Structures are given as structure tokens and as C-alpha cells.
A and B are shown apart, each in its own frame.
Chain A
Amino acid sequence: MSTLEKTETLQAKTIAANTQISGSQAVLEALIHEGVDTVFGYPGGAIMPIYDALYDYNEKLTHILVRHEQGGIHAAQGYARTSGRVGVAFATSGPGATNLVTGLADAMIDSNPVVCITGQVFASLLGTDAFQETDVVNITTPITKWNYQVTDANEIPSVLAKAFYIAQTGRPGPVLIDITKNAQIQLFDYEGYEKCNHIRSYRPTPIIRKEYVEEAAKLINSAKKPFVLFGQGIILGKAEQEFKRFIEKGGFPSAATVMGLSALETEHPLHVGMLGMHGNYAPNVMTNECDVLIAVGMRFDDRVTGRLDKYAKQAKVVHLDIDPAEIDKNVKTTVPVWGDCKETLPMLTALLDKVDHSEWLQQFRELEKEEVKEVIFDELNPTSDIMTMGEVIKELNELTGGNAVIVTDVGQHQMVTCRYANFKQSKSNVTSGGLGTMGFGLPAAIGAWYGAPDRDVIAIIGDGGIQMTIQELGTIMQFGAKVKILILNNEFLGMVRQWQQLFNDRRYSFVNITSPDFVAVAKGYYIDGAKVCERKDLKGALKTMLEHDGSYLLEVMVGKENNVFPMVAQGTSVSEIRLK
């Protein structure tokens, strides 16, 4: 579509300036102008005027009625992660708004661009403990990039423009706009919608200092053992190609954080695996062997660094990040490169010498062999009758060719999936990395499907996590998101059980969780499904699931007391990673 046609379509779809409209209409107009096509929400008293206005926007906006507001915001997150655009969630005041809290915290720590709109009681009732009144702005202050309460409809266009601008620029994050009911009802003279592109107190991207890029290049060029760590910043910055050119020119071994997975295809010859507590052996060990550590769009989370005072002490550190607050936060930087990596990476690449580091890379491969021998081979090719999570992922890789969007919940299945899933393209790994939110998987997968409806979306979830947000099967039932749900059931809260086994002397305290008949539950929601208890049925069942037109639930019974290894135990150094 040409720009002209686009403008014309937009004009046809939107309300002209200098018309009297309600605050609620202004909200929906803003969404249309921002290119929003899907909203995840749940109505209630204080947001009724917006829902009333929505009645007339049926053709312009798809509204997905979730079964719980937490599901709504996780879906908005999933949508943002696969589409690269802003996810939008609606909720009412009080309990509706507080149900968003977990998702907001999750979106904040994982930098998801999300805009939440909550209804609020009439402005005249604020502070009176009115029915369904809660101070959502104060509650959400530490878990939003920005939040604001609107009490006058005249503010709505400019506030929403700010909200969308803030949510998606710089380091993205969640924004919550709380709108009192009187403002939703209020008629005002609409002057049209103007997108925001500048807020004087807000600098989304720091100004790039060439001298730093030069210093960084000098340092990297001097390295004998350079090692690149990459995070979600690559994906958020849409800098996958720039990153690939950077590592290919320098020949740098590169490892992903959980959030960085899929930014570089898994099978790329320079991809040396995943970092962190349950990451791969080589990248963890080599962190304490390299001479220059190059961190790109990642934030040195404690699950990545292990014990900080024994982390990469021998190395000089180059840190590329868009958020100045990340520099030196956890790991002291030798040369910081502030800025959008879409811009800084090519600048840096231009200054790189083309060096052959294949011998150094080979050292990673040697360690990898050790990990294959000690851990991976048995996990993927078990000899006992008991199925492993790893072999399920392996079979899945073969069937999807690495082209599916893989959504995970939190726990053992998440770590195993992140370790073994094959990713061929970016924005394919959707998981709750920073907050570790059990219950994220199913609703996030629904959103992920709306964000990328042409792709296969597979939600891999444990028997614990699925029970936290299982009500979202109702959303699938009603609106038909073609999500494949793969439950890896070990009849335990596996990750906690693993810790209790390893560190609490096998005192299994409340990790024994029972499950309903998941296939029957799915059936109750008119979703087809099957259960697999034996290896011989696994491949066929996975195939049936993938080929099924529509949503499908497959439950696979896996070993009850299997552990995820390697593991960097809490309080130990990354180089003390244990293989068993």
C-alpha cells in the first residue's frame, strides 16, 4: 500500500478533527491511529463507556475477551513479542486493574511494549473508597515505565499519544493509563490525533559518542579471546542483521541470554549456546576465560552472572545498551557504548579488523562435546522407558524445522525448551525471563498467535503453570486462536523439586501437584487433544498436533524426577557450573 492510500484508508477509518466526541471514542480513535488491530480485555463497571464505544468499532478493532485480566495482559505481551508492535489490554477499575499487576511487572522487567487502559471511578469519587476503586496509579508506579490518570477527556488524545510513544521507544516497557468514568463519558471538541515524537524530559535513545565506539573497536581488535553475549536488545532494536554482520566480521563466539534466544539462528556457526544457570557448559565456563567480553543488549541478570565477584574478572568489558542505567549496574564496564544497537553495531563493525578466531571458537566446541557426552546425549536419546523433556523438544524441532514460535511458561520445561529448541528466525522465543511468571505461557501464546497468525505457535507448559491460567482455554474456545498446547507433565513442581532434592536433602515440601485430566478439560472447552505416555506414540502425536487445523492440547508424561543440567548453583561462579 502506498503512503497516500494508507493515509486515505486511515481517514476513512477515523473521525475527522473538530467534531464533538466522547472520551471513550477518543481512546479508540487513538488506537486506530497507532495502528492497533487487536485488544485483549475484560469489561466491568468503570470501563463500560469504552466498551460501549467499542460496539461501533467492531470492524476496525478486534477485541479478544479473555477470561481473566492477567490473561489479557500476558496476551498483550505475547502479541508484542511476536509482532514487534505495542500490545494493548483493557481492564476495569479495582480488581480488574489489580489483576494486571503481575503482567505489568513481567512486561517491565522483560521490556515489553504494552499499553494498558484501565477504567476508574468518577473523578468526584476518587479517594472515597468507592465501589471498585483502587489506587492503581500508585500501585503500578514501580512496575510501569510511565503511568497517568486522566480525569478530563480533553487530555485523552495527547496522553495516549504519549503512552504509545513511551511504550515503544528507547528501552520499551509497559504504560498504564487510568481513565475516570466521567472522562470516558465526557463530550469534548476533538481536534484530531497527533502522534507524539518528543517529550522534553524523555531521551529514549542516548546520543552515540563516536569516541566510545572507537575505544570499543580498539579494545575488541586487541582481543585474543573475544566473547559476545547477546540479549533481547537485538530483537527489540530490530538489529538481527547488524548483529550477525558484527559477529561474522570479527569471528566472535556468541552466546544468548534466555531473552536473546532466536535473535541469532540456533545453528549459526558462531552461536555457542545459552548463558546462565541452566545454560550451556561452554559459554558459562568461557566467560571466565575470555579476555574481552562484549555484551550486546543484555543486562547481566543474576541468573546469567552467578556469583558476581567471580564473574569475568579477567576480562575487559564492552557493554552496548540503550539504557544508560544498565551500564555498570551489575558488571563494571571498561568501555560503555550507549545507544541503539541498530546504529552502534554497524559503526563498530566498520572499525573491526577481520580476524580469524577459529582456534578460540574450537575451545567452545571442545567443551560442548563434554556437555553432549555428560548431559545432552542422554537427555535427547534416553535409554530407559521414561520420556525426557529433551527428547520431546528434539522431536518437535524435527517436525517444525525450527520455524515455530515457541512460548514457554516457567520452570524445568522452560529451561529444557530454551536449551534444546531450534530457532531459525527472530521473535520466536516467548517466555517470562526476568519475572519468572508461572501462568504466563497459555495467555502469552494466545497473544503470540494474534501477533503472528501465519506462524505455528506452540505453548510448552508444565503441569503446574498450566493450572495457573487454564481458564484461558475459554478464550481459545471462543475466538479460535490456533495455539498448540504441549503440556510436559512430570507430576511435580519440577524446578522447586529439583532444588529441594539438590539443596534441601530431598525434603519434598509441597511440590507434589496433582492434575486434572487435561485432555478432558480441553474437551470441555471443545478443544481437541491427546495424551501420550509412551515413547512409541510421541512422534505421531506431535505430528497430529501440528497438523491439526485449530488449537490442540497434547499432554506428554515425562520422567517425574528428571533434573535440568548443567546448573550453576546459586552463590557459585559460572565456571563452577556442574554437569550433574
Chain B
Amino acid sequence: MEKQEFTITVYTENSIGMIGRITGIFSRRKINIESLNTSPSEVEGIHRFTILISESEEVVRKLCRQIEKQVEVLKAYFNTNEELIWQEQALYKVPADVIAEKAYVERLLRQYGANVVVIRNDYIVFETAGHREEIDRLTEELGKYNLIEFVRGARIAIIKDSAGFHAKIKQFEREEPGQEIVENEFLDQRDDVFTM
């Protein structure tokens, strides 16, 4: 199976050491994490990890099972880019004189929808958000004009057909949960699986 970008979304308890426990699952298999974001989720007290990797679907599925096996992980999902709305944010520090003198740079920033965050005599800080390729292109362009500093944030992503975790967490809190908390890929693809 070919490698492609997958975004893994993990809902966890907010406890110390979770990052280590989760990233260890990747590094142990010599899999590079391209970006990792941790944040609160839609449910209070529940953390959300967004992990971007490039691997085959089979590998990603196995990784998700290993992640879900961790005691403090509630659920791990994996999605292709098509199944997500995703963004990455970037900050650029550009010399002020370049902006003042080069009309092209200003046009460029407008074109990419970059917003000014800070203006100073010596430099201006812009912010933009978008897909990786757009940010990469802008970075490349600005590189030609004495870009002083650049940083890109980790990918954050919303799963298009997810109903969120509010209903699920109630299931998890029950001692005898219903079947709906255990999504089952075999059952979802039953006809493909039971080919006898």
C-alpha cells in the first residue's frame, strides 16, 4: 500500500506524560511525526491530539489501535485529507523597508490573505493560515526578500462527518456502555470482510 498523508485525531485524558506515551508509539516503529498539535477539545477536560504522518493505511490503522490501547486514551481516529477541513498557521517577520519599497511584496501578502500582527520601524510580522502548499509557496517567495524569521504551526483539523465527542463521552462515563462507542471497522465494512 502506498504512503499518503493521514491525520490522526486522538481524544485523551488531560494527564502528564500523554505526549510521551503517544509519540513513543510512533518513534518505536521509526515513524516520523510530521506535525503534532495538542489542544483542548470540544469536551471540557478532554484533550485532543492532532497528528500528521505519511504512511500506508494499514500502518495507520495499526498505530491507531496501539494508541487506543493506552489506558488514558478514549478514542483515536484516522482520516485522509479529503475527509478533513484542515489548516496550518504561519508567522512571518519581514523587514519593514522591503514592504515599504517593494510593492510586489505587499501584493503578495494580500494575495495570500496574510494579516498584519505587529508593525514596527524595523520589521512587520504577518500571520497567515491555510494549507501546507500555500504556506510553503509564500515562504519561498518571501525568502527572496530578506525574510527574517518564519514559523509554522502544527496542523489542526476538523473531521467533516464527525458529530463531536459530547455524546460519546457520556457513553464512556457509563460502566456498561452501549455498542456505539466501539466503532468497528469490520462491522462497517461487513460485506468486504465476510467473504466466505
Please state if A316 and B186 are interface contacts (CB–CB under 8 Å).
no
CB distance from A25 to the nearest CB of B (A): 26
Distance (whole angstroms) from the CB of B163 to the closest CB of chain A: 19
What 0/1 readout, one digit per residue, does chain B (70-86) give for beta carbons within 8 Å of chain A? Answer: 01111000000000000
Question: Quick one: closest B residue to A199, CB to CB?
Answer: B71
Q: Is the CB of B20 within 8 A of A203?
A: no
- Distance, CA A329 to CA B74, complexed state (A): 20
Q: Which of A136-144, A414-422, A448-456 contacts B (4 or more CB under 8 A)?
A: A136-144
A142 and B20 alpha carbons, distance in the complex (Å): 9
A222 touches B196 (CB 8 A): yes
Please tell me if the beta carbons of B73 and A201 are within 8 angstroms of each other in the complex: yes
Query: Which partner residue on chain A sits nearest B63 by CB separation?
Result: A325
Q: Which of B1-9, B89-97, B120-128, B174-182 contacts A (4 or more CB under 8 A)?
A: B174-182
Contact between B20 and A212 (Cβ–Cβ < 8 Å)? no
Q: Which residues of B contact A191 (CB under 8 A)?
A: none
* A206: chain B residues within 8 A (beta carbon): 182
Distance in Å from the Cβ of A164 to the closest Cβ of chain B?
13
Cross-chain contact B65 with A219 (CB below 8 angstroms):
no
Smallest CB separation, B53 vs chain A (Å)? 18
Per-residue CB contact flags for chain A residues 35-71 toward chain B (1 = under 8 Å, else 0) read 0000000000000000000000000000000000000
| A window 194-213: CB within 8 A of B | 197-203, 206-207, 209, 211-212
Shortest Cβ distance from B15 into A: residue:
A148
User: How far apart are the CA atoms of A346 and B65 in the complex, in Å?
Assistant: 27
A198 and B175 in contact (CB under 8 A), knowing A316-B196, A323-B69, A325-B69?
Answer: yes
Cα A203 to Cα B76 in complex, Å, equals 13
Known: A200-B173, A201-B12, A215-B194. A207 touches B66 (CB 8 A): no
Known: A206-B182, A207-B177, A335-B194. A145 touches B65 (CB 8 A): no
A146 within 8 A of B: yes
- In angstroms, how far is the closest chain B Cβ from the Cβ of A126? 12
Across the interface, A219 reaches (CB within 8 A) one of B13, B69, B196, namely: B196
Shortest beta-carbon distance from B9 to chain A in Å = 15
Task: Determine which of A137, A199, A328 lies in contact with B62 in the assembled complex, contact meaning CB atoms within 8 Å.
Answer: A328
- From the candidates B71, B169, B179, B184, name the one contacting A202 in the complex (CB within 8 A): B71
Q: Which residues of B contact A325 (CB under 8 A)?
A: 62, 65-66, 68-69
- Sample 27 A-B pairs with CB under 8 A, ordered by A number: A141-B21, A141-B24, A142-B28, A146-B72, A166-B71, A199-B71, A200-B172, A200-B173, A201-B72, A201-B74, A202-B72, A207-B179, A207-B182, A209-B179, A209-B184, A212-B186, A324-B65, A324-B68, A324-B69, A327-B65, A328-B62, A329-B62, A334-B193, A334-B194, A334-B195, A334-B196, A336-B186
